[in-house]
Amino acid sequence: MDNQSVRIIPAWYHLILSTTVFLPIQVKASTLPCTSTEVRISSSWVNIGRVPDENQPKPSDLVELPRELSLNRERIALEKNSYIALLEMLAKAEKDGIYLRVASGFRSNRTQKKIIESRLKGHEYLDDIYRSIAPVGYSTHLTGKAVDFASVEQPFESTSAYEWLKINSNNFGFKETYYKNNPYGISWEPWHYDFTSR
């Protein structure tokens, strides 16, 4: 992760926390109008590709986390199999003395768009924004299987929570998607995990 990314994380991370909401109505990428936030997408995201419609959960597949597991007790939902695996993982973490909390889960295209637009209003360049957040339609948070963990300690990669996740997350089917020096050209996101399978 470069120094610039480290500096901008607190601002957008806070934004994600304040804008992540559980929306029962699904907004498909293909139904969104083309906006200024969608026309210029870095080649990294083009290579990763859009989240296919079939990988997006139906509202009935989403389960809301108990509020005490979410940072600041906000509403966060996950796809149900990811939810079950997450609860098991958090229980094991707690047994090991690691107090993991969730900062973000399912995120609709509408929320993703709001986050990008807010950062544009903060006078960030779109190319910089897309180094640390996916364009509308490209975020794995759209699948309901992605989780951002939170820690009061910063930076996340220096926390005992991250050390624990590195060793244990695979056992529960979670993978650090944008690991350090990943081949996708996306900034290192030590807090972002996707549920794959067990």
Cα 105–109–110 angle (5° rounding)? Answer: 105
Closest approach of Cβ 132 to Zn ion, in Å? 10
Closest approach of Cβ 67 to Zn ion, in Å? 20
**How many Å apart are CA 92 and CA 146, to the nearest integer?**
19
Which is nearer to Zn ion, 13 or 41 (by Cβ)? Answer: 13
**How many Å apart are CA 76 and CA 66, to the nearest integer?**
8
Closest approach of Cβ 104 to Zn ion, in Å? 6
List of residues contacting Zn ion (CB under 5 A): 148, 192
Residues 6+ apart with CB under 8 A from 62: 22, 24, 77, 78, 79, 80, 106, 144
Which is nearer to Zn ion, 22 or 96 (by Cβ)? Answer: 22
Which is nearer to Zn ion, 75 or 96 (by Cβ)? Answer: 75
Q: What is the largest CA-CA distance in the chain?
A: 47
Contact 162, 176 (CB under 8 A): no
Q: No. of H helices and E strands in the chain?
A: 7, 6
Q: Which amino acid is at 93?
A: A
Name the phi and psi angles at 16, rounded to 5. Answer: -60, -45
Which is nearer to Zn ion, 145 or 192 (by Cβ)? Answer: 192
Closest approach of Cβ 95 to Zn ion, in Å? 25
Q: Which residue is nearest to Zn ion (CB)?
A: 192
Which is nearer to Zn ion, 101 or 192 (by Cβ)? Answer: 192
Closest approach of Cβ 147 to Zn ion, in Å? 7
**The token pair that represents 17 in the structure block:** 């926390």
